[in-house]
């Protein structure tokens, strides 16, 4: 086995070529790690929106809240279903919500995007979602034309600063009176107002988009589901809130991972070619060294392993650099449309140990593939020819 320090010395001696080849690998690893971090950030943001003891009721066949419609008479039946938790005031913890997507101007003046407007009984929302905290201003008054906005849409859209107004429909405007946090969940990308005012503004007085139900415990879900779905005339479907938000991210996650992987594959081909050229050049300039190694008794397989190891070390240097660069993306917030709801959601790049390990391993594999042929060429170099070189 050729000593590893021999490979380290060669990488240090050829600092310029080593650096450029490593940067090529690093770029690929950065793209891959960033796409995985983006997907993880989306998943975590939506997961934080759900609770294991909460169920959501939608119209049967609806894949999101937007196309769903639950009549008011059905809410009364849901409230008396088994397993529904009673609040401190003795009332069932059931929240009928009306969801609308607004096409709003962006604050930077670069076009428009979709913002989610959620109507709910404002006097019950903080008891139902204790993680929600008003961080600026105050909570909107029930029955009024006031709204509060999540921290991640403040400054993102025009008219969403405290004291400003946005128009829902002609002669129907709402005024922003507060800003809220929701433990980093997708709710922070929404605008919240009174359900009755919003239903009236959009002509939906007799129904809501969805019904959130707080259960006594996760174990009460099955009995609640059977009771609600038993009445076929209502045409309702029950789903655990965590499962609902997991499904909400499926299409967007597939797009992020597919695009990131596709870009990484194309970039990796270029990076591997670069690493291969570097290693071929190294073999051509080190024929005499190869001859010395063979004269010292090192076998062809030992020389092949040595050059392959050198290629992997080169790629791992790049992989580490790319991973470190990707970690910096954790400070960046990213906004994109959820392909299921077609509303904008803002979230952060989120790194996990698994993502970092996968990115570095991917870099190492690139080193193996890029260095394999040059390593074979080095091993097959005849000793006499090498000594003459």
Q: Is residue 52 part of a domain?
A: no
If one counts every other C-beta atom within 10 angstroms of the C-beta of residue 283, the result is: 22
Task: Tell me which residue range forms the domain holding 228.
Answer: 61-234
Average pLDDT over residues 26-48: 88
- pLDDT digits 0-9 by tens, 116-154: 999 999 999 889 999 999 999 999 999 999 999 999 999
User: Does some domain include residue 241?
Assistant: no
Is 292:2 a contact under the CB 8 Å cutoff?
no
| Average pLDDT, integer, range 9-29 | 83
Tell me whether residue 53 is in a domain: no
Residues 119 and 210 placed together within one structural domain of the fold: yes
The answer to whether position 245 is within a domain reads: no
Residue 239 placed within a domain: no
Average pLDDT over the chain, rounded to an integer: 87
Higher model confidence: residue 321 or residue 382? Answer: 321
Residues 230, 314 within the same domain = no
Higher-confidence residue: 6 or 234?
Answer: 234
Predicted local distance difference test score (pLDDT) of residue 30: 92
User: Residue 211 and residue 75: Cα distance in Å, rounded?
Assistant: 7
**Nearest residue to 375 via CA among 256, 288, 273, 280:** 280
Mean pLDDT of 107-113: 86
Decide if 56 is inside a domain: no
Would 174 be classed as within a structural domain?
A: yes
Same domain for 68 and 157?
A: yes
Assess if residue 243 is contained within a domain: no
> Which of 210, 234, 258 finishes a domain?
234
Q: Which residue has the tokens 């939906």?
A: 204
In this structure, the answer to whether residues 216 and 331 fall within a common structural domain is: no
- Mean pLDDT across 106-117: 88
The Cα–Cα gap between 256 and 155 comes to 25
Last residue of a domain, one of 234, 263, 291: 234
pLDDT tens by residue, 197-247: 999 988 888 899 999 999 999 999 999 999 999 888 889 999 999 999 888
Q: Where are the alpha helices (DSSP H) in the chain?
A: 4-13, 15-47, 72-79, 125-128, 195-201, 221-229, 241-248, 250-285, 287-295, 300-327, 353-380, 383-388
pLDDT score of 84 more than 80: yes
**Are 349 and 324 contacting, i.e. CB atoms less than 8 angstroms apart?**
no
User: What is the reported pLDDT for 386?
Assistant: 54
How many alpha carbons fall within 13 Å on the CB side of residue 357? Answer: 3
Whether residue 220 sits in one domain with residue 72:
yes
Is the domain of 83 the same as that of 128? yes
CA 291 remoteness from chain centre: 52
Shared domain check, 282 and 147: no
Contacts of 252 (CB under 8 A, 6+ apart): 42, 336, 337, 338, 339, 340
Residue 387 has pLDDT above 60, yes or no: no
Neighbouring residues of 199: CB distance < 8 A, sequence distance ≥ 6: 98, 119, 205, 207, 208
Question: Ramachandran region of residue 206, left (φ > 0), alpha (ψ -120 to 50) or beta?
Answer: alpha
The continuous run of DSSP H or E covering 95 comes out as strand 94-105
Cα–Cα separations (whole angstroms), residue 259 to 30, 195, 287: 14, 38, 42
pLDDT, one tens digit per residue, over 244-259 is: 988 887 788 888 888 8
Q: What is the average per-residue pLDDT within 93-106?
A: 92
Contact 211, 97 (CB under 8 A): yes
What's the structural domain count of the chain? 2
Q: What's residue 264's pLDDT? A: 80
Give percent of the chain above pLDDT 90.
41
pLDDT at 177 over 90: yes
Please tell me the predicted confidence (pLDDT) of residue 296. 75
Note the helical H segments in 139-249: 195-201, 221-229, 241-248
Phi, psi angle pair for 148, to nearest 5°: -120, 155
């Amino acid at each position: 086995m050729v000593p590893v320090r021999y490979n380290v010395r060669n990488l240090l001696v050829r600092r310029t070529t080593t650096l450029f080849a490593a940067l090529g690998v690093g770029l690929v690893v950065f793209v891959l790690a960033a796409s995985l971090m983006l997907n993880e950030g989306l998943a975590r943001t939506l997961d934080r929106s759900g609770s294991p003891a909460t169920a959501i009721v939608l119209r049967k066949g609806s894949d999101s809240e937007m196309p769903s419609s639950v009549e008011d008479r059905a809410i009364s039946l849901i409230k008396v279903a088994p397993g529904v938790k009673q609040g401190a005031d003795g009332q069932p913890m059931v929240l009928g919500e009306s969801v609308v997507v607004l096409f709003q101007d962006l604050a930077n003046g670069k076009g428009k995007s979709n913002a989610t407007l959620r109507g709910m009984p404002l006097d019950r929302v903080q008891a139902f979602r204790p993680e929600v905290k008003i961080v600026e201003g105050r909570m909107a008054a029930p029955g009024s034309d006031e709204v509060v906005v999540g921290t991640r849409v403040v400054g993102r859209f025009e008219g969403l600063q405290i004291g400003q107004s946005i128009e829902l429909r002609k002669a129907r405007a709402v005024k922003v009176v507060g800003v809220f946090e929701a433990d980093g969940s997708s709710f922070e990308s929404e605008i919240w107002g009174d359900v009755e005012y919003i239903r009236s503004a959009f002509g939906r007085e007799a129904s809501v988009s969805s019904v959130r139900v707080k259960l006594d415990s996760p174990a009460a879900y099955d009995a609640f589901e059977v009771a609600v779905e038993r009445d076929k005339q209502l045409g309702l479907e029950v789903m655990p809130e965590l499962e609902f938000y997991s499904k909400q991210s499926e299409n967007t996650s597939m797009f992020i991972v597919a695009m990131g992987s596709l870009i990484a594959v194309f970039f990796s081909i270029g990076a591997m070619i670069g690493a291969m050229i570097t290693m071929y050049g190294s073999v051509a300039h080190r024929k005499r060294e190869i001859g010395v190694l063979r004269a010292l008794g090192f076998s062809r397989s030992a020389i092949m392993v040595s050059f392959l190891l050198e290629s992997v070390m080169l790629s791992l240097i790049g992989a580490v650099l790319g991973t470190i660069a990707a970690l910096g993306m954790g400070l960046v917030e990213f906004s994109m449309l959820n392909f299921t709801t077609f509303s904008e959601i803002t979230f952060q790049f989120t790194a996990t140990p698994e993502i970092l390990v996968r990115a570095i391993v991917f870099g190492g594999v690139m080193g193996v593939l890029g260095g394999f042929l040059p390593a074979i060429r080095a091993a097959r170099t005849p000793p006499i020819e090498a000594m003459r070189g």
